[in-house]
Structure formats: C-alpha cells, structure tokens
Amino acid sequence: MAAEDRPEGAALPGADGRLRCPWGLSAEDYAAYHDDEWGRPVHGDDALYERMCLEAFQSGLSWLTILRRREGFRAAFSGFRIKEVAAFTEADEARLLADAGIIRNRAKIQATIANARVAAEWPEGELEKLIWSYAPEPATRPVPRVLGDVPPITPESTALSKDLKKRGFRFVGPTTAYALMQACGLVNDHLADCWARPYGTTA
C-alpha cells in the first residue's frame, strides 16, 4: 500500500522500505531512537533514572530537543549515576544552570538532584523493581494501528506517578510516567505495522 493510501497516523515506509511509526520518520535523530531504543526494555536503576530525568526535562518541549542534548545531559549529570548525582552541591546546581549543553530550568535541575537523593537511599534494584511493577500484562493492551490509538496516560501511569510522588519524586506526573513506560518497554506502543514492534515486548 502506497504511503498516500495508508490511514492517517498509520505506519509509513522509510527510505529503506520498512514501515515505521510516523514520528520515527520526522528527523534522522528520531529514526535512530525509534529503531534502536524506544519501546525496548530498559533495566537497571541508573538507566531508568536517566530516562525518568530526561522525560521530566522534556515536559513542555519537543523530545527532539532533549535527544539532541542527551550527551550534554549525561556529561553534566555524571552519566546519571544516582549516587553521584545525589552528592551534588549548590555549586553543582550553579554549574548546571550555566551549562548551555542542557535545558537550564532550575526546577527541573533541582528535581533531578532531589530524585537522585531519594533513589540513593533505596537498596540496589529497588527503583527498577518499583517502576517495572507497573508494567501491564501485554495481552491486556490493544495493539495500536494508528497514532490516535496511543493514549497520553493510562491507569498504570497514573498509579506509577502517584507512587513515585508519594515517595518523594518530583516532575513525575501521569503523562511523564507514561512516556517513561513507553520509552523503557513497559508498554509496547509501536504501531501494528511498524517493523520494530516485535522488539518492543516487555522483558
């Protein structure tokens, strides 16, 4: 089926002929992220903390803006190693506010440090255990065929958000929590015809 004949919001063919979620074709950076990362299971406290922080920084902005600054974020936040970020001082906060390689939003920077301090108090693996406990059973979720089938929030993301906030995390609203779930493979929101959907199963 030609691209112009496909339903609005359906997967579209890229230059290589593979069908992809439409957003994965909108920029070269998106294509690599869509193909190699988005929706694939992410494990490990530091890795999940990084995704949580980046999704929080994305709030109100384009994800492409964050993606293009990701290496800058990693350099600024010590590779998002929880224990190292938890030890950041006021001098580090001032350094971050002057760093043009990241988004210089004071509230988000402070939340990133505060969230690390919360997670640093937990036993290793506890953050991963908490986040993944909210992954729904794949069989209970309908397979999205067009972008309009993908929800902005779900009962699970709302519950995850409430749990994280109760434990002291900031900038983890239901929409951000759902973006985290999508990015880290807790849910598989690749469209039905997308070539990458089989790689987005939970594990």
One-letter amino acid identity for 65?
T
Q: Which of 63, 132, 134, 195 is catalytic?
A: 63
Q: Which of 30, 49, 50, 55 is catalytic?
A: 55
**b/e map 33-43, b = 16+ CB within 10 Å:** bbbeebbbebe
Q: Is 43 assigned to a binding site?
A: no
Task: Judge whether 63 counts as a catalytic residue.
Answer: yes
Q: Is 34 assigned to a binding site?
A: yes
CB-based burial label for 139 (10 Å; 0-12, 13-18, 19+)? exposed
Q: Is 21 assigned to a binding site?
A: yes
Report how far apart the first and last C-alpha atoms of the chain are (Å, whole number): 33
Name residues whose C-beta falls within 8 Å of residue 13's C-beta, 6 or more positions apart in sequence: 3, 19, 20
Task: Judge whether 55 counts as a catalytic residue.
Answer: yes
Task: Judge whether 30 counts as a catalytic residue.
Answer: no
**b/e map 49-86, b = 16+ CB within 10 Å:** bbbbbbbbbbbeeebeebbebbeebbebbbebbbeebb
Residues annotated catalytic, as ranges:
33, 55, 63
Annotated binding site for Zn(2+): 21, 34, 190, 194
